[in-house]
Amino acid sequence: MKLRDLVQVTDVGAVDNDYLTWVLQQAGFPKARVQSFSRSSDVGPSFGGGGMLVRFSLDYGEDVPDAAPRSMVLKQARPHPWHANDAFGYRREAECYLQGLFDDLPGNLYVPRAYAAVVQEDVEQSWIWMEDMKGVFDVAWTMETLIEATADAAELHALWWQREEELAAMPFLMRRCQNMYHGGPFTQHLDQNFAAIEDHPKAGRIKRVFTPERQRLLRKLYSLATHICERLEKLPQTLLHQDFYPPNLGRAGEKTVLIDWALTGMGTPGSELSTTMWQPGDMIPGYPDSVGAGEKVQARLLETYRTSLQERGIDLNFADLLDGFQWTACLRPAHGLGGYVLPGLLLGRCPHGGARDFSDLGMLLLFSEMVFQLLEKAAARL
């Protein structure tokens, strides 16, 4: 194959020894010659976003080049219906690698190496040939270990602190991440889902949590999304991952491994921590089951992060950190309750695909009750 033909391969089934050899040579292994390979999809669970993952196990024959990988993971990203208004969604992570956003990460935060990243605009997809980090995502996360991981997130934030002009010059970065679901599948059927509660076999239990007053609260928060985003943009800004929660986190020795940069962009640090706090409810043993417990975890999360940021020379005003956390708490949990948890309860399964378990109605309603109470407190600031 010619080099141009190799770059233009858009079908996984067309990947052959020549293509894999080209990827490795682009990555700095000039003597690599792939003799054969096998392909599998046993890379890890999918939670409905991020792109399809395929593992390629490589055989070099008898002449194995020094340090050449024995396997690679291909990540294929395409436009996602959840992010229908996001023009750069399918290419953002590839662009992050191509623009070197992860080249100088210090300390305890690690991003898997990309051997090659290719953006295929004509078919709206991107391919990233990534380092295979088998086993590092088999982590039994708890709230304690998740809080510790947020200290490592401060390394990314500190690296890009007060570099707004550089970030603004990168059009592929996400703007207003917290507003991205409005108008898409997460919210467009909100009233339809509220109406469907009445005919559900468990309507009585669901209505005790999703009361008419709380339905009005969700509508109000959705209507104020732009206003809240404007408030967030007045706070100190840096580069955020914007999806910092267990499915995207691993551990390699003392390092936190962070994947899936499809939502990365400018934002305020409290927003990052709010996303971490309010996304993992059905994934982590010991997740707070009351408002009081949630507030204690929140206080520890914010203080651990702020101390880590200070250790890196950034003295973020605590009021600004708390504002970012609380304003985001008016949006991300609302997205989750109205566009994800409620339709999941009604369907008896994970909406829009994905692997989460929706069989425990009691647990989901208990979690929803706690989040609603916190939403009510956060919304009182509006």
Q: List CB contacts of 293: < 8 A, sequence separation 6 or more.
A: none
Last residue of a domain, one of 108, 131, 154: 131
- Do 171 and 243 reside in the same domain of the chain? yes
Sequential pLDDT tens for the chain (382 residues): 455 566 778 899 999 999 999 999 989 999 999 999 999 987 765 444 567 899 999 999 888 878 899 999 999 999 876 676 788 889 999 999 999 999 888 789 999 999 999 999 999 999 999 999 988 998 899 889 999 999 999 999 999 998 989 999 999 999 888 776 555 555 667 888 999 999 999 999 999 999 999 999 998 988 888 889 999 999 999 999 999 989 899 999 899 999 999 999 999 999 999 989 887 666 677 777 777 888 898 999 999 999 999 999 999 999 999 999 999 988 888 888 888 889 889 988 877 666 667 778 888 888 889 889 888 888 887 7
Among the candidates 107, 131, 155, a domain finishes at 131
Extract the tokens encoding 281.
């409810």
* Overall size of the chain counted in residues: 382
pTM: 0.90
What are the φ/ψ torsions at residue 177 (nearest 5 degrees)? -55, -40
How many other CB atoms sit within 10 Å of the CB of residue 77? 23
Residues 38 and 78 reside in one and the same domain: yes
Please report whether residue 249 resides in a domain: yes
Cβ count within 10 A of residue 97: 22
Q: Output the 3-class SS for 354-368.
A: CCCCCCCHHHHHHHH
> Which residue, among 91, 82, 171, has the nearest Cα to 128 in the 3D structure?
91
Print the domain residue range for 21.
3-131
Same domain? 67 vs 153: no
Task: Point out the domain boundary residue: 131, 166, 198.
Answer: 131
Q: Kindly state whether residues 85 and 164 are assigned to the same domain.
A: no
Quote the number of domains for the chain: 2
Q: What is the CATH number of the domain that holds 236?
A: 3.90.1200
